[in-house]
Amino acid sequence: MPQVFSSEKELPQYIAVRAAGEVPYISLPAGFPEDSQWQSWPQRLYTSLFESGCPVSPEQTAARIATALDGSSALFSSEIVLPHLKHRPQRRKQGAPKREAQVMQTLYSLLQQGSSPGWKPAREFIATAVKMDSVTGYLDPDYAADFVFFETRGHYRNYLGDSGVHEEQCYLESPEIYTRACLTPFVQNYLGAAAVTGMLEIRYRTSGSPFTPWAGISAFRLTSWGEYVMGKLEKIPVWEPRRVLSFSASGEIVSLEESSPQTKKLLESIGKEIAPGVYRTGKNQIIEAASTEAELQQIIDRLRSVAREPVPPLWQELFDSIHENVVQLTAASEYLIFQVPEHKRFLALLLEDTSLARIVIPAAGRRILVHRNDISRLQRQVQKRGLLIEITE
């Protein structure tokens, strides 16, 4: 039975994570295959659409998604839409960006036309799309792939360098092979991209296609976010992460009240799971998870954004005061660090001569620190005692 899936509620958290410079973990439908290429596909998509440090406003996010899906920008390329087509010849690529923009606009317009309130069968959308001139003309055989392989199991293998044994290879001269191996997966992956960016709610069953797991989409409909992206809804849909985290009054235990892979990943980085969905954490663990004060603030902001109200006083105090635990060290560029050689007379001078103690600061590892302004003074003092200091890099 198909499972209903939507990324609409998780999208604000995904964008917040990307804005923090990380690649979000994207939820996928139940029954989605465990293949590593496809498990990482949504992350590659988000990396392509949203740069690190991207704005988190819904208006800017919607504009970014719309210009990618309608072909106005080159963010959503064929390498993202068709990852299974690894081999692309270098010839006949003139006009490829223009063809790419045209086919994206065609699919986007088709999505807008079919955006009735109810569910739309995916097969109807795909059957219409693969017959449209801009789609069939975009992925011509020479541009998309030279050939597809037939394995003994009958599954297509259309990338070069495969070590498997193939009984025969077939050039993309057959319209049926071309449609099945290239055009249909192209449209199915386009629907998958719209789903993981929150625009579509889909009905999904495990895919039997050798080309794409998004062949498992049996039906779809626009979400409120999708209507807003396409200009059908003027009011911005609710734009905030789901509040799924409860904090204990003791100040040590946090509980994940609803499934949220992104929040679970955050908790695993700052605490230890002591029961399903229950984590022990605190000031030290949170500090250990950060390498800069900015990262520390990002962790606190993310915890606050998914916290169910009210947050107990002990946690509020921790959030408000955690920056008091940051020690900022500024590099003292006016000091030079020198490695002291195994020289008995010089070592003895450093240990016994009180006049040098006012110039030289001892450090671990047989090193000394000397202020830049005291270098000449040190050399003169040591020369008076019969030694010559030569400074080398």
DSSP letter for each residue of 102-120: HHHHHHHHHHHHT--SS-E
What pLDDT, on a 0 to 100 scale, did the predictor assign at position 139? 59
pTM of the model: 0.64
How far apart are alpha carbons 371 and 378 in whole angstroms?
A: 10
Does 211 share its domain with 273? no
- Does residue 221 sit within a domain? yes
CB 105 within 8 A of CB 113: no
| Position 35 in a domain | yes
Contact 81, 101 (CB under 8 A): no
145 and 20 share one domain: yes
- What is the domain extent for residue 312? 245-325
Same domain, yes or no, for 88 and 31?
yes
Asked if residue 72 and residue 134 are part of one domain, the reply reads yes
Q: Are strands 367-371 and 335-339 parallel, antiparallel or unpaired?
A: antiparallel
| 198 falls within a domain | yes
Report if residue 280 sits inside a domain.
yes
Residues 287 and 218 grouped into a single domain: no
Do residues 249 and 260 touch, judged by C-beta distance below 8 A? Answer: no
Any long-range contacts for 259-262 (C-beta under 8 Å, 24+ apart)?
260/10, 260/13, 260/306, 261/25, 261/27, 262/10, 262/13, 262/14, 262/17, 262/24, 262/25
Same-domain check for residues 107 and 185: yes
Q: Which of 205, 229, 253 is where one domain is finished?
A: 229
Same domain, 320 and 344: no
Judgement on whether residues 105 and 166 belong to the same structural domain of the protein = yes
What token pair was written down for 251?
Answer: 């100040």
- Any domain includes 249: yes
Three-class DSSP category at 83: coil
Selection from 345, 139, 108 nearest residue 230 by Cα: 108
Sign of the torsion formed by the C-alpha atoms of 311, 317, 318 and 321 = positive
In a shared domain, residues 74 and 94: yes
Any domain includes 303: yes
pLDDT in tens, the chain (393 residues): 778 999 998 898 888 888 877 888 898 998 998 888 888 899 999 998 998 888 888 999 999 999 999 888 877 766 677 676 544 433 344 555 666 778 888 899 998 886 567 899 999 999 999 888 777 766 554 444 443 433 323 333 443 334 443 434 444 445 677 778 778 888 999 999 999 999 999 999 988 888 889 999 999 999 999 999 998 888 888 777 778 899 998 888 999 988 777 788 889 999 999 999 999 998 889 998 888 888 888 888 888 888 887 889 999 898 888 888 888 777 778 888 999 888 888 988 888 888 888 899 988 888 999 999 998 999 888 888 888 888 876
Q: Is residue 388 part of a domain?
A: no
Asked if 277 and 308 sit in the same domain, the reply is: yes
pLDDT for the residue 72: 86
Q: From CA 94, how far away is CA 16, in angstroms rounded? A: 38
The tokens of 130 are what? 């693969």
Say yes or no: 262 and 290 in one domain: yes
Of the candidates 307, 325, 343, which is a domain's last residue? 325
**Residue 222 shares a structural domain with residue 270:** no
Bin 157: left if φ > 0, else alpha if -120 < ψ < 50, else beta.
beta
Cβ count within 10 A of residue 307: 20
Structural domain ending residue among the three candidates 291, 325, 359: 325
Q: Is residue 238 part of a domain?
A: no
* Total tally of structural domains belonging to the chain: 3
Q: Rounded to an integer, what is the distance from CA 335 to the centroid of its chain?
A: 41
